[in-house]
Amino acid sequence: MRILIYRKANFDDIESIFALITGYANDGMMLARSRNALYESIRDMIVAIDDDGNLAGVGALHMIWDSLAEVRSMAVAPHMTRHGIGQTIVKKLIEDGRTFGVKKFFTLTYKPKFFEKLGFITVPKENLSQKVWKECIDCPKFPNCDEIAMVLPDETINEEFFENVAKKLEFK
């Protein structure tokens, strides 16, 4: 397994992130993101970079409302899945969100098992704040969302949750 660094995304990452997400989106595994959407949300994203400087994974935390944020755009390079990269990115996103005072983390996903492993639980979509749906009108699937709504219960975010996660993000 290669050594990875986890850091905030920057402009040089956008083309690789776009290619990774588009590949999975074309297979129907996740929602597509335009380059424009990626540039606009660059500050949301954390990337994992391998020791050749290649993108190994990406994930984003998008602020929605008071203390509320969405984990989105999770993607790990196909040859690097199931090595804990996705899990580490989510934990770093949560760690980062907490520095802003986020208390409620949720996701809309096609991969509930991945999020369950992290402690997320499935909830009825109606349980999510109406604020969540503001951006959904731009989604090609709107209004027939087939993603699963999941939230991370407060009590899950404890010391054990952050075990093995470096205290601070590494910045390039």
Ligand X SMILES: CC(C)(COP(=O)(O)OP(=O)(O)OC[C@H]1O[C@@H](n2cnc3c(N)ncnc32)[C@H](O)[C@@H]1OP(=O)(O)O)[C@@H](O)C(=O)NCCC(=O)NCCS
Name the residues that contact ligand X, by CB under 6 A: 24, 29-30, 74-76, 81-87, 109-111, 113-114, 117
The distance of closest approach from Cβ of residue 165 to ligand X in the complex, given in angstroms and rounded to an integer, is 12
The distance of closest approach from Cβ of residue 31 to ligand X in the complex, given in angstroms and rounded to an integer, is 8
Residue of minimal CB distance from ligand X? Answer: 86
The distance of closest approach from Cβ of residue 116 to ligand X in the complex, given in angstroms and rounded to an integer, is 8
Instruction: Report which of 75, 80, 73, 143 is spatially closest to residue 108, judged by C-alpha positions.
Output: 73
CB-nearer residue toward ligand X: 101 or 146: 146
Q: How far apart are CA 24 and CA 134, in angstroms?
A: 24
Q: How far apart are CA 71 and CA 62, in angstroms?
A: 6
The distance of closest approach from Cβ of residue 101 to ligand X in the complex, given in angstroms and rounded to an integer, is 25
CB-nearer residue toward ligand X: 42 or 165: 165
CB-nearer residue toward ligand X: 66 or 153: 153
The sign of the torsion formed by the CA atoms of 35, 41, 42, 46 equals: negative
CB-nearer residue toward ligand X: 47 or 75: 75
